[in-house]
Amino acid sequence: MINLVVGAGFSGATIARKIAEEQNEKVVVIDAKNHIAGNAYDYRDKNGIMIHKYGSHIFHTNLENVWQFISCFTSFNTYMHKVIAVIDGIETTIPFNLRTLYDVFPETMARRMEEKLLAKFEYNKKVPILEFQKQDDADLKFLAEYVYEKIFLHYTTKQWGVKPEEVDGAVTARVPVYISCDERYFQDKYQGIPLEGYTKTVENMLNHPNIEVRLNIKFADYKEPYERLFYTGPIDEFFDYQFGELPYRSVNFKLEELNMPYYQCNSVVNYPCNYDFTRIHEYKYYLDDISDKTVIAKEYSSEFERGKNERYYPIPNDKNAELYAKYKAKADELKNVYFLGRLGDYKYYDMDKAIARALELFENIKGEK
């Protein structure tokens, strides 16, 4: 059986590897880009710095099967991600946590709020901001409004183009108020950056005698026969936008090479209230790259426009869910055609969830012929 996989990111590479290795079948992987690894693509620049072309990617997971699978193709460092935000000119960690209180408020005020938070909420609890705003206590109500204004409102407006109330709860819940002293952005058991990069990891996944990779080729231009199709591209594009276009947010990264060892104190610094960009990435932190120079990327969010920029984030709301459901119903009518990945499922996936989805799909179809 010949299998065609459209897309050489983690979703496509995972399903391709499983089919090639466990079913001993031929797999052709195509991608419209000129590189593998999708939006996780990275490369070393002339300064020896590993650049994440499409923004910072930090691998993190609690899924044992995903960790075991990806660890067959790479080794990881023990990097644990923290995010700094500049709030009223003060650098502090987010999500907003108990230590953040002492960075932005006078000590007596911070201590009073901390005591009230610990009395109200369970320690280590993550509280979505829109839930956190439902406070009766005057101090906590003030705190909720402060966090909403300084961290969520302007940042969400820049990133999503709408106010937090207009964004699906799954989005706002990703950056909660954290009743904890844990300053890490993720609390997953496994965290790190591949020591040789994400591109090399995907290259290792695709390195199998049964797998052939072809780049710079669009699905519409592929004319050779195949018996099963695994499609990680946009599901609306597959059906020629029959029901309309699924909306996305896009991101533009402005890279700057600077003649200094470091530009900022952390790999990622967010600017919720200042400037037009949402954050600045400094890539050399991830693998402790040594160079007299550094490279930063200022991140600007925008609407996705077909033919002009890249699809990054599906926009979760009821209207878009209804539109996706129409395409999903069409997809379910097809035989030996499977959709997966962020674009195929129209769902925000972290890297581990994209791999998990592909592993689950393989288990579901491996007995089919």
- Within-domain flag for 291: no
Instruction: Report DSSP letters for 311-358, one per residue.
Output: --EE--SHHHHHHHHHHHHHHHTSSSEEE-HHHHTTS---HHHHHHHH
Residue 14 lies in a domain: yes
Is pLDDT of 322 > 90?
yes
pLDDT for 196 equals 98
Whole-number Å distance between alpha carbons of 107 and 139: 14
Per-residue pLDDT at 39 exceeds 70: yes
Token pair in block for residue 63: 């899924």
Residue 260 placed within a domain: no
**Does one domain contain both 93 and 137?**
yes
The pLDDT score that the predictor gives to residue 169 is 66
The CATH code of the domain that includes 23 is 3.40.50.720
Q: Which amino acid is at 8?
A: A
Q: For residue 290, what pLDDT is reported?
A: 97
Give 339's pLDDT tier (boundaries 50, 70, 90): very high
Q: Are residues 152 and 123 in the same domain?
A: yes
pLDDT tens by residue, 242-282: 999 999 999 999 999 999 999 999 999 999 999 999 999 99
Residue 100 in any domain: the answer is yes
Last residue of a domain, one of 132, 155, 179: 179
Beta strands in 117-200 (DSSP E): 125-127, 177-179, 190-192
User: 204 and 63: one domain?
Assistant: yes
Same-domain status, 321 and 356: yes
Same domain, 166 and 217: no
Residues 70 and 205 in one domain: yes
Q: Is residue 271 part of a domain?
A: no
pLDDT for the residue numbered 154: 85
Say how far residue 228 (Cα) sits from the centre of its chain: 28
Residue 297 lies in a domain: no
Among the listed residues 135, 115, 124, the one whose alpha carbon sits nearest the alpha carbon of residue 95: 124
Determine the structural domain holding residue 100 and report its residue range: 83-179
Q: Which residues pair with 40 in a beta bridge?
A: none
Number of domain units in the chain: 2
Does residue 223 share a domain with residue 361? yes
Q: Do residue 344 and residue 228 come from a single domain? A: yes
How confident is the model over 147-182, as pLDDT tens digits? 988 988 888 889 888 776 777 766 666 668 999 999
Report yes or no on 92 lying in a domain.
yes
Region 324-341: mean pLDDT is 98
* Vertex 228 angle, CA 224 and 230, to 5°: 100
Please state the pTM of the whole predicted model.
0.95
Distance from chain centroid for Cα 326: 25
Secondary structure E strands in 228-343: 228-231, 248-258, 268-270, 279-282, 294-303, 313-314, 337-339
Question: Is pLDDT at 316 greater than 90 in this prediction?
Answer: no
Structure tokens given for 238: 């597959």
Same domain, 209 and 123: no
Is the pLDDT at 369 greater than 70, yes or no? no
Q: Of the given ranges (12-16, 133-137, 212-216, 229-233), which has the lowest mean pLDDT? A: 133-137
* pLDDT given for residue 170 in this prediction: 66
What CA–CA distance (Å, rounded) separates 174 from 238? 30
Whether residues 71 and 87 share a domain: the answer is: no
Question: In which residue are the tokens 């995010």 written?
Answer: 83
Residue 45 in any domain: the answer is yes
The answer to whether residues 113 and 131 belong to one domain is: yes
Pick from 179, 203, 228: which residue ends a domain? Answer: 179
**For residue 263, which amino acid is it?**
Y
- pLDDT over 70 percentage in the chain: 97
Locate 125 and state its tokens: 């609890």
Chain segment 201-211, per-residue pLDDT in tens: 999 999 999 99
Domain shared by 71 and 144, yes or no: no
User: Considering 151, 179, 207, which residue would you say is the last residue of a domain?
Assistant: 179
Phi, psi of 210 (to 5 degrees): -90, 0
